[in-house]
Structure 1
């Protein structure tokens, strides 16, 4: 009787382990994971983390607690990452081009190589937005007005040396115009400024445009092809501007985290990224899901670094680092 009971308990435990652990190496995680977002709540980084959270918890059987450490366009959090516990149970959202361009531009308390990225999981194309009642009906209207009024048009974006800043600078260069970039601490305050008519336009992402619905007008998107969520919105390329770009988001850990643990975290996030329900919810929200595991991060980062170093001089940044 006792042996039968033990066999039953063992079988149940095995089944639970297969269900919750999903084959994760050495049972990682076996306790709560703290997920720090270096921006305010409500932006793309937060929204994506909120979509990851329930899938991670279902697959692992452990809680994922999302926390916020906003400030300095993410630099406040990234500069503190290496002082945090390096056991795999504190992870932090990372963003490109932020973590490459910020240290190139000035001393922000960290270097790009200080950030140990373990996975990149999504991408959002840049989009130029105006309020729904804006006088700018098309990208051509926007460019024509900016050309006639140098510096008068204010463009909001999420942080200095961010993807939004890069997009604004690139459009200025390609269109031969001058606009004034106004950085905010994240996507949510950027949208608040736009909808409150504190600025005339905003460079944000397709995800933001989707979430704002009829409150905004999308003038163009920086993707190779039209985004399915906005079939009537042209790409910048269609309008004659060779602009394709946006923000890549991943997860980093303290650099002293053991290599085995970095791989375990990557494996756990990869399982989340391959969940069909997660993929569908991400795509419905305007995100593009990508899979860049820990083993492929160095090559991915090298490619991105080369791209941003080429753009940096247009932003007045010396590509020395």
Structure 2
């Protein structure tokens, strides 16, 4: 067989990707935002790639248990794993969690859940200004809830405290459900959640502000922090990574498939309906994006009291 023939076969095989079921690993338990997003993506793999995905869960240590195993998995484009920011930056920044940020080969960031500051519908804080005034009047006296320590929620709390010149007290809970229960039960005065949480809880809660460039189309009554004079945009980003030894050409194929799914009008509508915001960060933008976000999180880590390793 000639070299030209081998090249032809190789190119033909590459063009046919995917040719089998893709293993899609969620580094958390079922039911969270990562799982919801994967379930919304699931039928689109068949539509745009002609193959199904098998969604699996490897929960533990806030995602670190799975991310630490990623590079030991099969590197052929048929194993991909969900990744999250700020998790994959803050976790190894604080301590040895079995992996380093640079060892996670992200191929695509496809959405983020914007930070949202929530209070109950009958809260005395009718606006963000009310909330800030209370925090300034009694430093540390306003109790806010969120999921976990050194998490996206605590990061949002630290960012607003710094930008607004206030001091609030953060209480970590195990999971979004526990935070929501605490908020509705008046155990905390406010909670840091996401646009997804506001849409889930509906009229039971009021959104004081959301960390987006523009208002979320499904939450037109919730102003952005920027509208209210605070330059705060962010949330938890979610994407996909592959084992680091996956060939560059295969990484591009995986990214191309995710990009097609991300641009599907049906998928975009479903994401918006669930409170997600679609973003498109592929291989070409990956380095610049990760450099930017890592720098931002390194600064935020100081506000959280994280001593970098």
Q: Aligned residue for 1:7?
A: none
Q: Aligned residue for 1:133?
A: 122
| Mean Cα deviation higher: 300-309 or 75-84 | 75-84
What's the Cα RMSD here? 2.3
Q: Aligned residue for 2:78?
A: 89
1-structure distance, mates of 2:56, 2:169: 32
Deviations along 1:107-158, whole A, 9 cap, x unmatched? Answer: 2221101111011111222100122233332222322333344334332223
Q: Aligned residue for 1:76?
A: 65
Q: Aligned residue for 1:306?
A: 295
- 8 Å CA contact 1:44–1:187 kept in 2: the answer is no
- TM-score between both structures, scaled by the size of structure 1: 0.84
Q: Are positions 1:146 and 2:148 aligned together?
A: no
Secondary structure at 1:314 match in 2: helix
Q: Are positions 1:49 and 2:38 aligned together?
A: yes
Relative to 1, partners in 2 of residues 1:160 and 1:254: Cα closer, same or farther, differing over 3 Å? Answer: farther
Relative to 1, partners in 2 of residues 1:294 and 1:158: Cα closer, same or farther, differing over 3 Å? Answer: farther
Unmatched segments (≥5 aa) in structure 1: 1-22
Relative to 1, partners in 2 of residues 1:156 and 1:82: Cα closer, same or farther, differing over 3 Å? Answer: farther
Residue 201 (structure 2) aligned to one of 212, 219, 240: 212
- 8 Å CA contact 2:217–2:272 kept in 1: the answer is no
Unmatched segments (≥5 aa) in structure 2: 1-11
Q: Are positions 1:258 and 2:247 aligned together?
A: yes
Residue 282 (structure 1) aligned to one of 271, 278, 283: 271
Secondary structure at 1:269 match in 2: helix
Relative to 1, partners in 2 of residues 1:64 and 1:183: Cα closer, same or farther, differing over 3 Å? Answer: farther
Secondary structure at 1:141 match in 2: helix
Q: Where do 1:108-127 residues align within 5 Å? A: 108-127=97-116
**How far 1:299 moved relative to its partner?**
1.8
- 8 Å CA contact 1:128–1:218 kept in 2: the answer is yes
**How far 1:69 moved relative to its partner?**
2.6
Q: Aligned residue for 1:176?
A: 165
| Mean Cα deviation higher: 132-141 or 295-304 | 132-141
